[in-house]
Amino acid sequence: MITVFGEGRGFRVVWLLEEMGLAYRLRPVDLLAGVKNDAEFLAINPAGFIPALQDGDVTMVESIAIMEYLMARHGPTPLAPDPHDPTFPAYQQFLHLGEAGLAASMYFVVVSRNLAPEAERQNWGARKALEVFESRLGVVTRQLARSPYMAGDAFTAADISVTYGLELAQRHKCFALGEAEQVYVARTTGREAYRRAMETCQATKAWVASASR
Ligand SMILES: N[C@@H](CCC(=O)N[C@@H](CS)C(=O)NCC(=O)O)C(=O)O
């Protein structure tokens, strides 16, 4: 049985598993409560961040690497184009840009604004991270002028990666997405597998509901 530890970016992994129709379970990890007493989770990821994956004797961290592993080990799947397909370079680029360019920078904006001590909320690092997010978003915007999805006409795992980064910014009200990005997010999150993933990720669901009130 595949086990996903933690929501947050683990939502990407759960969404992918739903798209692929694979059996899994989500093991909640409460980062806000702290993980120092969560021995089962720390045995999987001693560094204490989420998500982590356990699949038989395989344990992994890093949401994008986990998605690549699942598609390679449990595929093939149309969510990952063949390396010789013309859409592959864009797929590969946006799969990684969704984390390295979008979510990784936006994460530090979000935690600075919400969790940092009051006097440290408007810090240089958070402002720089927002600039980085905005510049990488420009690459997404240009792609959306060309095609409905990051790798062309078909939905792929790159869209799971990028959608998570865009939703992170939007939900925390850290960045107002433009029209093209909003239409794109509505398109990707309208999928049945996204809805099922949201039902599984009850902490994410509760947070989204409270943020939209
Ligand atoms: N690049 C990693 C980022 C992992 C990450 O920073 N996760 C956050 C929550 S979504 C976390 O665990 N933060 C707490 C910490 O780093 O201690 C990934 O894509 O999985």
- For 120, residues 6+ apart whose C-beta sits below 8 A from its C-beta are 112
- Mean of the per-residue pLDDT values of the chain: 97
Atom index in ligand 1 nearest the CA of residue 107 equals: 6
36 burial (CB, 10 Å; 0-12 / 13-18 / 19+) is exposed
My answer on whether omega of the bond before 86 falls inside 30° of 0, hence cis, is no
For residue 139, pLDDT beyond 90? yes
Tokens representing residue 22 in the block:
């694979």
The answer to whether the CB of 134 is under 6 A from ligand 1 is no
- pLDDT digits 0-9 by tens, 143-169: 999 999 999 999 999 999 999 999 999
Ligand 1, atom 10, residue with closest C-alpha: 8
Residue whose CA lies nearest to ligand 1 atom number 4: 50
pTM of the model: 0.98
Measured distance CA(112)–CA(17) in Å, rounded: 31
Q: pLDDT confidence of 210, banded at 50, 70, 90?
A: confident
Report how far ligand 1's centroid is from the alpha carbon of 105 (Å). Answer: 11
Nearest CA to ligand 1 atom 1: 62
**Which two three-digit tokens encode residue 69?**
């592993």
Those residues whose C-beta lies under 8 Å from the C-beta of residue 49, and which sit 6 or more positions away, are 31, 61
Does 198 sit in the ligand 1 pocket, CB within 6 Å?
no
Over the stretch 80-118, which tens digit does the pLDDT of each residue have? 999 999 999 999 999 999 999 999 999 999 999 999 999
Ligand 1 pocket test, candidate residues 12, 30, 31, most atoms within 8 A of CB: 31
